[in-house]
A and B are shown apart, each in its own frame.
Chain A
């Protein structure tokens, strides 16, 4: 069984991408949890799972809405691409810390959705909302046992 976790902050523009994808998956009948991306909560969130999919906003210089899929078990993540969570200990740091502490799940996939604006109170970009839908549909297809 795959555990899906969407990360981010609903009140900071495109940083909401992961949480919005989790909500969309929920509406599609796929269990998906929301998380701030804070390290301990993430590690607790995937504890015991065989397979985990994370969704988070990233900033890598690509156009807004670009979707990048990483296999964090294969290589360290580019930490500079990830939007910091509580006190800069966010998704990338959680994964790297979990790697050192041997707390990574056996299978882990990370969907990064390129964001453009992260200011307090701003709405998500239209491109990011489109990407959220694409990511949700793709994850729903590959995790839905009836598909």
Chain B
């Protein structure tokens, strides 16, 4: 097969969903001349929507930014507001929020592992084709995702865009008896997650290990969800209040989404690989053992193995949810009273795809003066482009179809909010 010297790979339209995008790679021989992951529709408009609204509206407004991770938006907004207003919540409210977040992780990781990512490794164009030959596997994924949905629906009042979480606590908290029906399904989900990790550990991955800066939250005693310091494998150790001192957003011509960079360092990685590598010691023993059994020990640098790390995080989330069911007692009040004041509050939580940073400036009436939201996909976008730059030269002898497939897979490794659409992309290839 002759090797084309100049190739342009364009994936034109990453349709709709939580962001619209396209992929463009230009190669000359083995040299990658340009890589652009174009995102047309980031959630920046919400920052404008929020101005002039009351602090209490932010969780429900921001929850609408993403259909798959509304809890993450609610939690980051709530924690930032509580930081601004000097609120401490009851330990049981804290536990409930952690349970809420576990539900979202189970939903999101279940969807990505089985319906979006597994087809890449098993040679299918999508989950529908996968289901024809692997019905039981897909059924297991759907049931796992549903186990997460059930937590979110029970705590959030509804499955999509939940409404119960509030600054200061919850509008309503469940009794122990109300949570109890979750238990049996979560026990199944824990076993299913272990089976999932073992299944995906058999998937073949190409050898590809970029020198990442991993960035994630780290908590003294827990695998991070709602809180922790922001740390990296290159010595970063800051609070959320210092985030904007260390991370900078830049506009790039080819994308509406701002690109985030670690000042003085460059692109960085947020999400499951970073959390796992920086917090392996905080995983419960059962999740650590599953990881070891699946030959996943930190540092895992190959992004194609992120499917295995997500499966380990599924084990963690199911185990943690069951632990919380055992420990939970309803708090005396569902939420504490909140008095508005002029202040600035910042918070970062761990969305399924990585750190989600919120900052709000409030006036003395609790109205939002300014808002800033940095989603994980915005943070990972430069790193995705760097992955493509590093991956493409090794594929120069491959067919255009193979290069396109690998490029799409490299994007899907990140589970960005546009990853789904890459299953339905059209390829335009120009040879010169």
Q: What is A's interface to B at a CB cutoff of 8 Å?
A: 9, 11, 36, 38-41, 43-44, 79-80, 83-89, 93, 96-97, 100-101, 118-121
Contacts and interface: CB of A to CB of B under 8 A. Distances in A.
A93 B131 CA distance: 12
B68 interface: yes
B420 A88 contact: yes
A86 B17 contact: yes
Given A41-B149, A97-B128, A120-B43, A84 B160 contact: no
B81 interface: no
A83 B421 CA distance: 11
B424 interface: yes
Given A97-B138, A120-B41, A87 B419 contact: yes
Contacts of B138: 97, 101
Nearest to A86: B67
A21 to B, nearest CB: 18
A134 B135 CA distance: 39
Interface in B1-50: 15-18, 41, 43, 45, 49
A40 B16 contact: no
B383 interface: no
Contacts of A40: 142, 145-146, 149
Contacts of B112: 87
Contacts of A88: 15-17, 420-421, 423-424
Nearest to B160: A36
B328 to A, nearest CB: 26
Nearest to B145: A40
B159 A41 contact: yes
Given A88-B15, A97-B138, 18 more contacts: A9-B67, A36-B160, A38-B160, A39-B115, A40-B142, A40-B146, A41-B159, A80-B424, A84-B421, A86-B18, A87-B18, A87-B67, A87-B68, A88-B17, A93-B128, A100-B128, A100-B131, A100-B132
B64 interface: yes
A38 B420 CA distance: 13
Contacts of B116: 87, 89
Interface string B409-432: 000000001011101100000000
Q: Closest 10 CB pairs between A and B?
A: A88-B420, A87-B420, A86-B67, A100-B131, A84-B16, A36-B160, A96-B128, A84-B17, A86-B68, A88-B421
B16 A121 contact: no
A142 B40 CA distance: 42
Contacts of A97: 127-128, 131, 138
B111 interface: yes
B135 A100 contact: yes
Contacts of A85: 17, 67
Contacts of A93: 126-128
A38 B308 CA distance: 25
A86 B112 CA distance: 11
Contacts of A87: 17-18, 67-68, 111-112, 116, 417, 419-420
A89 B424 contact: no
A120 B256 CA distance: 14
B156 to A, nearest CB: 13
Interface in B376-432: 417, 419-421, 423-424
B17 to A, nearest CB: 5
B420 A84 contact: yes
A135 B128 CA distance: 30
Given A41-B149, A97-B127, A121-B45, A89 B420 contact: yes
B139 interface: yes
Task: Identify the interface centre among B16, B41, B419, B421: most chain A CB within 10 Å of its CB.
Answer: B16
A101 B140 CA distance: 12
6 contacts: A40-B142, A41-B160, A79-B424, A93-B126, A101-B135, A119-B41
A120 B145 contact: no
B74 to A, nearest CB: 16
A68 B346 CA distance: 48
B67 to A, nearest CB: 4
A49 B112 CA distance: 29
A88 B131 CA distance: 17
Interface in B131-158: 131-132, 135, 138-139, 142, 145-146, 149
